[in-house]
Amino acid sequence: MPSDALETDRPSNRQPTTSSTRFGSAWSRIARHERSLWGLVAAVFCADLLSTYHGVHHGLTEGNPIVRSVLADGGFVAFTTLKLATVCFAFSAWVVTPRPNRIVVPLGLALPWAATSLINVVAILA
């Protein structure tokens, strides 16, 4: 058997499937906007911080037991410190994560915090 036939039979040399190609191209389009995603992290960080502050000061309770404990023991300074520590840890993880996959780090912060901020605003307005 010719050596080039062996090379094409290896899984690493196979052509990607159509679905994985579409996913990969969508992923690369998102990855081009990493800086914008970190800006989104900053925006939803502030939105979550402010909406939590406003909600707690107007009689709502924090749903996360860890954050509830931090708020009870240290107030909003401790809460802000916890959030900043989370961002610092995530940024450190982003730095050491290989390039194609590191986009999940800002997405992993921005999406849950955006959802939380939206829930907070709905609860405040209700």
For 16-38, give the DSSP string.
Answer: PPHHHHHHHHHHHHHHTTHHHHH
Whether residue 71 contacts residue 79, with contact meaning beta carbons closer than 8 Å, is answered with yes
The domain in which residue 59 lies consists of 34-125
Would residue 113 count as lying in a domain? Answer: yes
Would residue 12 count as lying in a domain? Answer: no
> How many domains, the chain?
1
CB atoms within 10 A of CB 48: 23
| Tens digit of each residue's pLDDT (9 = 90 or more) over 88-118 | 999 999 999 988 788 899 999 999 999 999 9
| Tens digit of each residue's pLDDT (9 = 90 or more) over 11-33 | 555 555 555 566 566 666 666 77
Would residue 120 count as lying in a domain? Answer: yes
CB atoms within 10 A of CB 79: 21
Contacts of 117 (CB under 8 A, 6+ apart): 44, 47, 48, 51
Would residue 118 count as lying in a domain? Answer: yes
Helix%, strand%, coil% for the chain, nearest 5: 85, 0, 15
Would residue 10 count as lying in a domain? Answer: no
How is residue 93 written in tokens? 């993880």
Q: What is the pTM of this model?
A: 0.70
Would residue 2 count as lying in a domain? Answer: no
Would residue 112 count as lying in a domain? Answer: yes
